[in-house]
Structures are given as C-alpha cells and as structure tokens.
Structure 1
Amino acid sequence: MAKHSRNWNQGVYEKYLREGRGQGEGPGYTPWIRVQDFASKGIVSRVKGRTTRRVHHLMSNNELAYFYLLDWADSVLDIREQFPLLDLECAMNAAAQAGINYPTDRTSGYPYVMTCDFLITTTHGLKARTVKLSSELTNARTVEKLEIERRYWAANGVDWKLVTENEISYRKAKNIEWIYSAQDREALQLQAESDTLSNVKDLIRQLFYSYEFSIVEIAQIVEDKFHLGKGIGLLLFKSLVLDKEIYIDLNERLNLNAKKVAVTVTA
C-alpha cells in the first residue's frame, strides 16, 4: 500500500465509493488510487493504455515497466490497476486467520482499503499481481500485508502472484514505451490524408521486410517521398509496430541504424 496524502476515515471511504473508484471495466474503470492522492517511491506515471484506451495510474517505475508488458500481451483483455480489496470483511478475516493486525488509520482507527497493483482479465481468467522490489521483502510488515492479499484472493478464487524486478524484462518494457509515443494518431492525421497514410505504411512495410534499409533510412525515405514533416516517418513506423503490422523482437536492444532488425512472429 502506498502512503496516503491525507487522513483516512469513513467519510473519505464513502467519498471514494461515490466517485466510482475501484468500479467499472475497460475504459470505464476508475482506479482506487490516483497519482495525485498518494506519495510513492520512484516516479509516478499516467500512461494511456493500448488495451483499455484510458489513462492508467502507476505508482512506481516497476509498476510502469510491468504495466507495459501486460498491455502488450495479446492474452490480456483488461487491466485494472490499484484495484481495491473492497470486501473489508473478507480482508480483515484473512488478516485475523493469519494472526496479522489489519492496517488502520492511526488517527481515525478506520480500516484502510488495501489495493492490488493489477487485476488482469486474460484469456485464461482473472489474475491478481502485486509488484514489489525484492529489497522490500525484508520488511516484516510488508510481508504481512502480502499475506493478507494472498489469502484474500485465494478466498475469492483468483490467481495471485508477487512480481519482483527479477520477473520484469526492463529492456522489453523500454522498447514498448518507445513505441507508445505513436498513440497520438491526431498528430499523424494532421500530417497526411488517410489515403496517403495508407500508401506510406505500405511502403514502410515493403522497405522494412526487404532488410536493405535501417529504420532511420526508411523513415527518411518516406518523409522525402511523401513530403512529410521531420519525425513523422519514424512515428508511422512505430504506429505499425504498435498495431502489430510490423513485428520486431522487443526483447533485443533496438538499433535504429541497423539494416537488419531482429524480427519475431509473436508478441
């Protein structure tokens, strides 16, 4: 759980419920925690998701990296970050059964609503995932809260796992982050008509799979041929990767000047 930026009490709890936090699915979901509500280690982020087409609230660099991996996976259908364990009776029973003191506000004594970093809808069912640095696992209280989570999700029949930095491919996450700048389709539409965009993308695919040109060269060729603004060629290349019309191996370091880029046929 992140550190709350204000006192917690029943009034705040009821306000969150009225705001629809922790409710909804897909683009209609509202996270229980927003970046402006809580302090967090590292850098907090707001990122538009490819899967949900909404802005996601991530509380650490590790959450951000793991989010990119989830959002890129074809098996992931929905991602609900900062998902609340709203069944307080179930959560508090889980704590009691484990002999753990359930977290409460020091001033009001009101029980906190614990959150899971990610509740993920996949083609194989629901999965709950909590992201922690392995160094945090030396803290006894952190381990106790993780045990409450584990028991809570077990009671609800949901697969729960702890994810540390050892399970996160940071290179792949950074590559995905690079690609995601192409989500601003309005910028592309301002530069070219739809028919032109289709022709540009066809040429990019042709040049890329000829293995005779680097990504930088391809971008320059299409910008010159179609009189596009500087940087639009590269943005269009990214958009093709984003839409999975061009496949590159995101597990490898991307060299934009290489004439042969590692290609993979899977996401």
Structure 2
Amino acid sequence: MPTDRRPTALITGASAGIGNAFARRLAADGYDLTLVARDEARLAQAAAELTAAHGVTVDVLPADLATDAGAEAVGKHLANPPDLLVNNAGVGVRQTFLRSDGAEEARQLRLNVEAVMRLTHAALPAMTQRRHGAIVNVSSVAGFGPVQPGSTYSATKAWVTNFSESVGQQARRYGVRVMALCPGFTRTEFQERAGIDTSGSPDWMWLKADDVVNVALRDLARGRLVSVPDWKYKTAVFAIRHLPRPLLYRAAGGTRHRVSPPPQ
C-alpha cells in the first residue's frame, strides 16, 4: 500500500451494529471511509461524527444491496477498490420457514448471499492485480450448523463462511486476504429487526460490537480465513462441528426462539 495517502475502507451496513463499530475503529485508525446502507440520514450523521472526531474523509453511498440497482451502484464504486472491504449488511427473516413469506426469504438470500458474492467479485480482481487488499465478510457462528430450527438465516451464513474460506485460499497467493467473521450473539439492532426474542439468553453470552471488530482486525492481520471472536463461541463451534447430529438437533431445540407462533 502506498505510504503517501491514508488507507481506505468501504463498509456495508454501516449505519448501526457491527458495521458502525468497524467505521468507528477504522476512522480512529486513520482510514478514509465510504459508508453504505439504506438510511441516508443515518449515514450522513455517522459520517459527520466520524469526520469531526478523527479528521478523516467519510463519503456516504445510500444503497439497498438486496436490489440489482443498489448492488450495481456499489459494485461500480468497487471497480477501483479500497484497501479494505467489509461486507457487513445482512438481514434475518422474522418467521420460521413454515410461516415465512417467500419474498422475505428471497430478499434474505439476495442480501446475505448474492450481495456478498457480487461485491467481493467486483473488488477482488483489482485487489489481486495490484497485490494488495483485504475483504471481511461478516458471517455468524450460526453458519456452522442448523442451530435454529426452521430458520434459514444459518444456511445463508454457512454459504458466506464457505465462500470466504474458498476464495481466501486462492486470493492469498496474490497478497490479498479474504476472511469470514463469525460472531455469536452481539448486541446490535439485528435481533429486534429479525423479531428474535433474546430475553432467555443470559448476559454472559452477549458480545460487544467493538470487541468483535477488534478481534476481527487482529485475526485479519494474522492471515486467518475464519475469525470466531471469544472463547465461548470457539467452544460452541467445536461442539456444532463434532456433536453427533441427533444431539445437535436436540440442543438446537432449546436455543433462542423467534417471535412467532408455531404453524397451525
């Protein structure tokens, strides 16, 4: 990376949660930023605060990445990619599959899967050509197994993790890092938007978004393909991967429930 300019990053889903935590940390580290989300007003507010606090340049790019127009707009911006791309935007479906709306399920796939693929594909060729760059795709511990009966969210995150590991193995020979970030329960707006009842989850299970980002950037610098913040979730991933399936299904039946009645 040239030393006569500040490093740059583009962050999707940057108006709240983990995306906003990435923005704060990277701005503090001296990155010029491009923030992407649907809510232009919140993006503008975040940009003003970050510029005032850290003196960096912060551009906003309002876009709905679940639409072709939104994904294409951001993809064109990535033709000259930043030093770091953070694919954080994601969504969960409020209902379980037996009661969900097909349009909601399709939107989840477009945002959680297709947008990650399209933006990675937009940025990666130029990154590999210049032999520099990094991509963090925000996945989830849920992607390591069917841990929420009836939820299709974990299936989308399984794709993100597998995709990132596969592409990351190829990209590393060109000096480019691609990593899947797989946090567990993290205090953000996501749970409320997805209709997830978190009242039964003890406080010790919850992570702070700032801590998740700190671990992610540390693991990215170490060249890891997958980052799982916190020992308790590393333990959970080991159990999900190695428990006999009947035991995993039984344990999954006691995990958090979505705010919806069972199918009639």
Instruction: Give the TM-score band, short-chain normalised.
Output: under 0.3
Instruction: Answer 1 or 2: higher relative contact order, Cα 8 Å, separation at least 6.
Output: 2
Length-normalised TM-score, structure 2: 0.24
Length-normalised TM-score, structure 1: 0.23
